[in-house]
Amino acid sequence: MRKTLIKTGVLCSALLLSVNAAAEKKFEGLADTPPMGWNSWNTFDCDVDENMIREMADAMVESGMRDAGYEYINIDDCWHGERDENGEIQVSEEHFPSGMKALADYVHSKGLKLGIYSDAGNTTCAGRPGSRGHEYQDARTYAEWGIDYLKYDWCDTENINPIGAYTTMRDALHEAGRPIYYSICEWGDNQPWEWAQDIGHSWRATGDIYPCWDCSYNWGSWSSLGVLKILDIRKDLRLRQYAGPGHWNDYDMMEVGNGMTEAEDRSHFSLWAMLNSPLITGNDLRSMSDTTREILTNKEIIALNQDPKGVEAMRYIDAGDLNVFLKPLANDELALLFLNRGDDVLKYSHDWQFNIIKDDQTGLEINFNNERFTWKDLWKGGKGNTDKPLNLEIPPHDVVVLRLKPAN
Ligand code: GLA
C-alpha cells in the first residue's frame, strides 16, 4: 500500500513538473507597443549608484518624459556585488546601500518601473557575476525586489546554446511569477529574430551603438556602430518582417543628447520611432538641454513608434543620400520619413502621383492618383495634401517626417 502511495506520489510530481514546464512561457501583454524608458549604460558605463538612479527617475518625471510615455528606469551592468554562500546575488553595498527593493519602491512611487541587467554566461560583459546556473534563483530575487524589466546579455557564453539559455531565463522569470519585460541582448549574433518571438519581448538585432552618424568605433575584437551603420545592417538582414506586437527588433539604446548634432539627434530619434525599436534613452536626463528634451518628448513622433498596428517601417526609396521610409499605421494612416544621409543640403521634389506605394508585407497599396491624403509635418508643423508635389530642402543629416491621413 505504502509503495503504491509513494509511486503515485512520484508519478503526480513528475506529471506536475512536466505540466509546469510545458506551461512556462513569456509574459504576454507587456510589449504590445515597444517599451520606452532610460538606461544607464551609454552615459554612465559602470558608474551606477542608487542616488543617480533616483535622480534619473525624478528627472524623467520633471522633464515631462513620463507624461510623454517613458516608463522604465533601467540599471545596466555593474550594480552587482558577489553571490552569498547560498549563491544568492547581492547588490554592491557600496553603490546601492539601501538595497534594490528600496530603490524599486522609490521608482514605483514615481509611477515608473525599474529594470535591471544580467548575463547568460558566468560573468557579465563588465566581469560581474552572470546568471549561468543561477537562473531560477536570480529570477526569484528580481521578482522579490520588484523588478519590471530584465536585459539579458551574452558575454562569457562560449559553447552555450543561445536558444536554450534564453529559454531557461524566460521560464525562470515566468515561474517567479512577476511580469518582467525580457530584453534579449546577444547583438544579433545568433539570428534571434528567427527564434526569439516566443522567448523575449525584444532582441538586440545589432552590435553596440556609438554616438556618431556614420562611423564605427573599433574596440579591438569588435566595433560599435553609428546611426547609419545600424540602419544599413538592418536593411541587409531584412529584419522588418520578424517584428510585431509583443516582439520587437531592438536597435540599441539611443544616443540622443550624447554629442551628435541637433539634426542627427532628430533623425536618430525619428528613425528609431519609425523602426519600432524600443525607445530607451541613454543620456543624462538631469542635465539635458531643452533641445534634447524637445526631441525626446515629441509626442507625434512617439505616436509613430507606439502605433497599435505595430509595423516596422520599410525603406521605400533608396537613392544615394535620399532614403525614404514608409510606416503603415492604424486607421489607414501612414508615416513617411525623408532622410538626408549626406553632408550637403538635399533638394527633392516628391511627386505623389508618380510614387505609388506597395508594401508586400502588409498588402498596402496606394495610388495617389485615385486616393487623396492630407499630411502634417511632425517636426515643423506644416500641413498639406497629396494633390501637389512636395518640395523639400533637407539640411545635412536631417529628416522631414510626415503623417498622412486619408482625405475623406
Ligand atoms: C554589452 C551590451 C551593452 C551593455 C554592456 C554592459 O556590450 O551590448 O549594451 O549592456 O554589455 O557591459
C-alpha radius of gyration, the chain, whole number: 23
Is 360 one of the catalytic residues? no
State residue 251's pLDDT score: 98
Which atom number of ligand 1 is nearest to the Cα of residue 124? 12
Scan for cell 519585460, then name that residue: 181
State residue 24's pLDDT score: 79
Domain at 314-406, CATH homologous superfamily: Golgi alpha-mannosidase II (2.60.40.1180)
Calpha distance 30→140 (Å, rounded): 19
Domain at 31-305, CATH homologous superfamily: Aldolase class I (3.20.20.70)
Q: At what angle do helices 2-23 and 162-176 cross, to 10 degrees?
A: 110
48 lines ligand 1 (CB under 6 A): no
Span from the CA of 377 to the centroid of ligand 1 (angstroms): 36
* Grid cell digits, residue 67: 507624461
Nearest Cα to 225, choosing from 210, 244, 242? 210
Calpha distance 242→400 (Å, rounded): 26
The model's pTM is 0.94
Calpha distance 284→297 (Å, rounded): 15
Task: Name residue 359's beta-bridge partners.
Answer: 364
Q: Where in the chain is the domain with CATH 3.20.20.70?
A: 31-305
State residue 195's pLDDT score: 98
208 lines ligand 1 (CB under 6 A): yes
Q: Which of 125, 203, 219 to mutate to test the pocket of ligand 1 (most atoms within 8 A of CB)?
A: 125
76 lines ligand 1 (CB under 6 A): yes
State residue 244's pLDDT score: 98
Which atom number of ligand 1 is nearest to the Cα of residue 187? 8
User: Within 13 A of 52's CA, how many CA atoms are on the CB side?
Assistant: 21
**Mean per-residue pLDDT over the chain, rounded:** 95
Nearest CA to ligand 1 atom 5: 125
Span from the CA of 123 to the centroid of ligand 1 (angstroms): 12
153 lines ligand 1 (CB under 6 A): yes
77 lines ligand 1 (CB under 6 A): yes
Catalytic member of 153, 250, 307, 398: 153
Determine contact, residues 348/319, Cβ cutoff 8 Å: no
Q: Where in the chain is the domain with CATH 2.60.40.1180?
A: 314-406
Calpha distance 223→215 (Å, rounded): 10
Span from the CA of 153 to the centroid of ligand 1 (angstroms): 7
Catalytic member of 208, 250, 307, 359: 208
Which ranges of the chain have pLDDT less than 50? 1-20
Backbone angles phi, psi at 335, to 5 degrees: -120, 145
Is 153 one of the catalytic residues? yes
**Of all residues in the chain, what percent carry a pLDDT higher than 90?**
93
